[in-house]
């Protein structure tokens, strides 16, 4: 089989199962299986592919047909123009979370040598990116999952950027240190909406990274109330939230006495990020 025939085979298999981007995914997996680059893929459609690469490609397409996310199949995902290694221990970094990082960078520009705490770091995408973007910051990243922290440390090394990683339950382990910014993309999906998520998300991404109690607001609520103890005066709490949670989260910040609360929409026009200042 040549490149074109193999590509058509993969694209048609994905198309038949109603995948959203069959052409794109078939080509990405073909590049992975054959090791050819994009330019050669477009220029040498009639190049013959050796049997071992054909087998490898068919295996990757089979995996995708079970709804395994492409990022897990490739073992990597781009986030904020950096590459992050991913596996089933960590949530795949999402484009929406880049908005959280944009807003964090704006906040951090107002501080000299800022201290940052990333709660629920997962792949480390937020902490590693912030440490890289603001090199004179001190960044601490925490997660309850040992497997996630191992991945985050790997990503810290591969990006040559070194936050401190600590295993712990939310902010419990922080005793005396205070931070200028607490940032988090916490689990915020309601348990009863879990079954409505995409099959690839449900079957492959860690449920503990997605779902939170109290209608999805349990972990957000704990972060907001615990952050008051851990933030410096005039420090910021910056959170990613679910599509319908902004009203409730604003209320939580207000009830706890935070000021200057502001919500930001993502590219789809959904309330996605919220910031609030802790002022005594």
The residues that touch ligand SAM, with contacts defined as CB under 6 A, are 91, 93, 97, 120-123, 125-126, 142-145, 148, 169-170, 185-187, 208-209, 219
Shorter beta-carbon distance to ligand SAM: residue 29 or 273: 273
> How many angstroms separate the CA atoms of 208 and 210, rounded?
6
The nearest distance, CB 219 to ligand SAM, in angstroms, is 6
Buried b (16+ CB within 10 A) or exposed e, 242-280: beebbebbbebbeeeebeebebbebeeeebbbbbbbbee
- Shortest CB 34 distance to ligand SAM, Å: 30
Minimum Å distance from CB 210 to ligand SAM? 6
> For residues 110 and 133, what is the distance between their CA atoms, to the nearest angstrom?
14
* Closer by beta carbon to ligand SAM, 26 or else 161: 161
Give min distance, CB of 244 to ligand SAM, in A.
17
Closest to ligand SAM by CB, 91 or 139: 91
Please say which residue, 29 or 101, places its beta carbon nearer to ligand SAM: 101
Which residue lies nearer to ligand SAM by CB, 49 or 220? 220
CB of residue 67 vs ligand SAM: minimum separation in angstroms?
19
């Amino acid at each position: 089989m040549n490149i074109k025939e193999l590509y058509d085979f993969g694209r048609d298999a994905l198309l038949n199962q109603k995948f959203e981007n069959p052409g794109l995914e078939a080509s990405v997996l073909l590049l992975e299986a054959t090791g050819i680059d994009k330019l050669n893929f477009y220029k040498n459609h009639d190049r013959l592919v050796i049997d071992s690469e054909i087998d490898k490609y068919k295996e990757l397409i089979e995996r995708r047909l079970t709804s395994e996310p492409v990022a897990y199949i490739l073992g990597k995902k781009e986030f904020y123009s950096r590459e992050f290694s991913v596996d089933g221990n960590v949530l795949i970094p999402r484009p929406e979370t880049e908005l959280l990082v944009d807003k964090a960078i704006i906040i951090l520009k107002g501080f000299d040598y800022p201290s940052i705490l990333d709660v629920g770091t997962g792949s480390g995408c937020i902490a590693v990116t912030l440490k890289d973007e603001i090199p004179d910051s001190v960044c601490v990243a925490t997660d309850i999952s040992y497997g996630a922290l191992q991945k985050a440390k790997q990503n810290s090394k591969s990006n040559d950027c070194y936050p401190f990683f600590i295993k712990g339950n939310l902010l419990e382990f922080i005793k005396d240190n205070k931070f200028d910014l607490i940032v988090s993309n916490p689990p915020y999906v309601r348990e009863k909406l879990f079954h409505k998520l995409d099959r690839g998300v449900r079957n492959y991404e860690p449920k503990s990274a997605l779902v939170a109690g109290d209608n999805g607001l349990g972990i957000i609520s704990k972060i907001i109330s615990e952050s008051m103890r851990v933030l410096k005066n005039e420090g910021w709490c910056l959170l990613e939230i679910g599509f319908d949670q902004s009203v409730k989260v604003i209320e939580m910040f207000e009830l706890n006495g935070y000021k200057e609360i502001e919500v930001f929409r993502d590219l789809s026009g959904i309330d996605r990020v919220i910031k609030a200042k802790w002022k005594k």
